[in-house]
A and B are shown apart, each in its own frame.
Chain A
Amino acid sequence: MLGFIKKKLGHKGGKDRVVVLGIDGVPCSLLNRFIEKGMMPNLSALAQKGTLTDMSASIPEVSSTSWSTFMTGVNPGRHGIYGFTELRKGTYKWKFPNSDDLRSSTLWDIAGRHGRKSVILNIPSTYPARELNGILTAGFVALDLKKATYPESAYEYLKGIGYKMDVDTRKARESAEALAGEIDSAFEIRKKAILHFFDNAEWNLFIGVITETDRLHHYLWNALDDEGHPQHGFFLDFYKRLDGFIGEMYERTGDDVPFIILSDHGFTTIKKEIYLNAWLKEKGYLKFRKDNPESLEDMLAESRVFVLDPARFYIHTKERYPEGSVAAGEYEDLRRKLREELLALEVDGRKVIKSVFFREELYSGDLFNEAPDLVALPYEGYDLKGSINKDRISGKGFLTGGHTREDAVFYINRGVNRKDINIIDVGPTIMSLLDISGNNFDGGSLV
């Protein structure tokens, strides 16, 4: 506590400090609703003295891409993280991009080059931890705490308190109650670690991310509005506790220091999951040599298109893939036809695809060639999936909540200079608040 007071005095005016609290998968609309109900008094007070607004996430609207866009301030065509899965170059084998695949400097890399210290806790897609001027422990998908954490002393501390890198989602298979218990204990230990480093580490840039919100939403979204759901109370109570934590963080930060809250995508009820590879199979675009393919290694060479999660379409070109079948001259017609057919795709008499983008409409940069050829976004409630072993186009899975690209949240205890905000703008905003200029970002500062 003493260290905390000392530090606050030493940084009077807060000119070189920024605090960021990430809340994975939290929709702005949900926060507004809870504020109206009086369930989040701290956030409500913060909204009075700053800007609480909705924000667009990255495309695709998954945590790895969205947080990577946040932490670099550039589009996936430059940072290289298009999703949780890729195929290893020149093969059909799975690859799972991690921090080694991130090709742009992060906010803390840049801050470090300007002599600033950072504390970076639990941001998805930062595993394994890379060296930095400060402290980092990685978020999802992190496998081993030691490799997830830099430096060693931070690892020793986290190990000592029994830090959990993530909610053990396998508990969901036991019961909703067991999962709630897991979410609860992960949230508690996360808060403890965040506050510890906030108080005891030296930093200019502090970023702590709560990911329990995303797990809560995926598994228990149906508990939100169903008063009879056994976890309904837990869901609401979780948000009250989150509000308590926001209040605690803000009290430590103070009005003078810029305080940002953001999420990486929104959430909504899943009406149906849409299995795009099953649709491609039905249309004759995709063929496997087995009934139950395990990976795209089981795909037949004559296949024209395949999908990686959530809705990244890859045209099986001769140029890009060892067994590709689509010639350069066929590419343009094929992608136009695909877009048309996708926009017309109906399930139970309703359209499911809201928009389809060609790669050049979304991405630019050195890694543009690694981009998906088309990316689709659904109408709300349809969860687009890249599963390869489904034989129906739509169905229900075990998750009740799914991501939305719109309705992510952005908060800052100041005014902002524009209305339409995208997650790509948050990094440049932070750098500008730290008075670090001369960066080549794709996003622009909001202050």
Chain B
Amino acid sequence: MKKDKPLENSSPGIRWLFLMAWRDSRRNRGRLLLFVSSIILGIAALVATLSFGEDLRNGIDDQAKVLVGADLVIRSNRPLTPAELAIPDTVPNRHAREDNFASMIYFVRSGESRLVQVRALDGEYPFYGSLETTPTEAGHSFRNERQALVDKGLLLQYGAQVGDSIRIGSLNFAIAGILNKAPGSTELSMTVAPPVYIPLRYLSQAGLQQRGSRIQYQYYYQYPSPTDIGRFMDSLTSRLGKAHLRYETIESRKTRMSRAFGDFTEFLTLISFIALLMGCIGVGSAVHIYIREKIDGIAVLRCLGVKVRQAFLIYLIQIACIGLLGSVAGVSLGLVIQRILPVVFRDLLPLEAATHLSPRSIGQGMITGLTISILFALLPLLSIRSISPLYTLRRSFEPPRRNRDPLKGVVYTTIFLFVAIFSFWQMHAWTKAFIFCGSLFAAFLLLAGVARLLMWSVRHFFPASWNYLWRQGFANLYRPNNQTLILIVTIGLGTTFIGTLYFVQQMLVDRIAISSGKNQGNMVLFDVQNSELKGVVGLAIHNGVTILQDAPLVSMRLTQIRRRLPDRAREDSVDHHDRRWVFDEEARATYRDTLTGTEKILSGKLGTPVRSPQDIIYVSLEEEYARAMIHAGLGDTLLFNVQGLPLTTVIGSIRTVNSRRLETNFHIVFPGGVLEQAPQFHILIARVPSVEVSARFQKAVVQQFSGVSVIDLGLVLSILDEVLDKIGFVIRFMAGFSMLTGLIVLIASVLISKFQRIQETVLLRTLGARRRQILIIATLEYFFLGALAAGTGILLSLATSWFLARYSFESSFSPHAAPIALLFASICLLTITIGLLNSRSVLNRPPLEILRKEV
């Protein structure tokens, strides 16, 4: 016989590998589609948020001009001096002015009143875009008469109509039109403080501009079209800074909005990414089971001469194609969701986000989907390399244990790096990206650890004395090819997500709601002048309203820290943009010699009353305000400008204020004997016993003291509820993808273990088990799984919420027991229901029929 060389290359080529992958998938396509469905939602959410982010960026670019309404806006807490007014006038321009402040309006016909944002306008602002009104011409015509534009929601709420009268201060205005949209405003901001536009020239007659009133002055400028605003601003910036004037241009608004919406879409993308990761874990687990079922076939192929690499590639190609299919389906669904997102986010956005096909987002979705599904499938796919052809002869054959597969380490590292790089790509900061990845992996590890601990515990402390059905239910948790790990990780992660969202929302509501407790303030009256104080207090007593606290408020500006000139001090803070406000904005100060119930001294001690001009004035700074004064501490000198008068003080103490209760909160507390004669107004905290008393009292205040504004905490609470509901809906909408993914992974996991479950069930039924007994075994198994996953998930969400409460919201966290129990019960029920629905077909038919059909 001729001796041949056996090692010639007879590789059938990549085409054959694709052909085999296709052939092999034929009898399993339903199952493969189920695997891939786990990643469809994640990719859909990812593509939708990425595309939506791009739509927003485009929207900002297109609409920033209309959002600002002018080329330049200058803002100040005081009217500009003629010299300051001249600063932007180096180039000819069109300009307008708006004085805005919070005030009460009174609906003359209904006799009701409400706190609003009054915007007194002079000039043709907005220069870009328009005040959207009904009727349209009202947006211009109201400026010519004593007329007002009133927010749409406000008119609806108080049943007022165009032509009705409203009173602002001491003047009546006819409602000229309904204000549908103003530049840069969101539905949400209009709910909190609905805007009312009036002509500026009537403001002084309304008698609301008193000394100490908190008015913001805005000056709008439009420059002729060839003007290079950027270069023009370069020459103005330092002059505006020296005059403590804040300003905004279209470019700066673009930057600010891009950053804000960047953060927003980044958050949404990360939520989508979590959904995708959960789906990938589902895929990984499904592929693991899939490959275990394919061992015989792979061994036969190896017998017939298929090389290790070829066998690996056949299944890699299969998974990659399925990943590609999932990515295509996910991208398509994502493009549909992209069109829904602007509707979901409508109330939160100040601009129209027109939807466009984004090739970049589509590409990113495809690449991410494909990469991540292959990466997660690689771990189980690597095990193909160790499938010996000997399996064809001996089912029980186990290859000798190899040392740790270095390739698995490479895959784990690649997965971590991929997740880290993806996070960095979204967050643009390695620290944040690693914290995100770290937390995510920690949660995964913890849940996986719990699952392993459960299996270990069940194996080692098996309750041998229990009833058989319980024992069988328990034993199922650690049988070969069990789904314990994957189910606990996916259900647990989903529960963590839902729980955290719920607890945080609840915490925010509680934080405010606690203020409405008995004997605590539920109404704030501000802008009460010295001359009005006695009358307002009398009116309160007359109406059965209890005044709990009276705090005088004096506005002042910080001019020197430790005798350093303001400009030098400002330079010190150049790297701390968020802290520059201490120099630019007016500080809120009061005077008293005691702490309120919500304050606590952190260091130093509260100043004593000043008796002579030679006494040192020791002031107490609020913690955040003190922190914003870089390099300043106890004993340092601060120079304030109190409405024109310089006042030298020394930092005597630092205070913290518990903001969970409705109390006044001041930057600076002066001792008695200093500010009594300064221009000031009072803030009164009151307790109103009922809604009726509140309405009666507000009406009386507006009628007698038109300059006094009233905030009803009941209204604030309902608005906050509404706001949180809207934000909550948005978050729930996005988190829904993770939850749905979790659900699909759950269904897929249960389905892929169906084959094994059928064999067991058929065996039990053959041995005489009744339908009810099998049902109980399955119920118990799914209950154990659901309970443990939900329990761990809830614990994780409690820990996360506590962490957020402590470090992000600086609040205490006391979760309610009922929602926790409800969440736990729901997750358990859902797991059991899905599990049993899958077992139904096995239970309702004779064992032989099932064996013939399924096996």
B and A form one assembly: no
Contact surface of B with A, Cβ cutoff 8 Å: none
